[in-house]
Amino acid sequence: MVTACTPAGPQSTTAQVRVTDDGSIPKNESISLDDDKHAAIANLDQELLTAMRKAAADAKLAGVELRVTSGWRSAEHQQRLLDEAVELYRSEEEARRWVHPPEKSAHVTGKAIDIGPTNADDWLIQHGADYGLCQAYANEMWHFELLTTPGGQCPQPRSTT
Ligand SMILES: [Zn+2]
């Protein structure tokens, strides 16, 4: 249906929000947990997102800002990251220590989130269990998943070697 009636006023006040289909966030950039328009946030598991937002609100009171460097990723985006890692490390085996294939990545199912900067990771490693959030891998201090119940105890971060 075509309508001649166009809404008055500015179309959007969030023009700076990048809308991507595959959930990619440019390297060295981060987005807010409130950035609902970004697929990386919009496609996250609701339980994980709710827990992260609670943690972020409390972190803020402590003067720490939790920023998202990666959230949900499409399978294509995950595969691209793996391909880039293989190129970087010149070894499929070494690359897989850092980047899971799409079928193994919790990012593709929306059940993992990467947080930065370093002081935010430190805060979340220390307090995350209060929200059920745990560091999943020993070699990735930025990668968090819901791995316990709020107030429970996190499992030992897994080694990928
Ligand atoms: Zn991750």
For residue 62, report the distance from its CA to the centre of ligand 1, in Å. 24
For residue 113, report the distance from its CA to the centre of ligand 1, in Å. 6
Q: What is the largest CA-CA distance in the chain?
A: 61
For residue 114, report the distance from its CA to the centre of ligand 1, in Å. 5
Please tell me what DSSP assigns to residue 69.
E
Pair 56, 138: CB distance under 8 Å: no
CA distance 44 to 39: 8
For residue 142, report the distance from its CA to the centre of ligand 1, in Å. 7
Which domains are assigned to the chain? Answer: 30-72+110-155 (3.30.1380.10), 74-107 (no CATH)
Render each residue's pLDDT in the chain as its tens digit; 161 residues.
Answer: 544 555 444 444 444 445 568 999 998 899 999 999 999 999 999 999 999 999 999 999 999 999 999 999 999 999 999 999 999 999 999 999 889 999 999 999 999 999 999 999 999 999 999 999 999 999 999 999 999 999 999 999 998 75
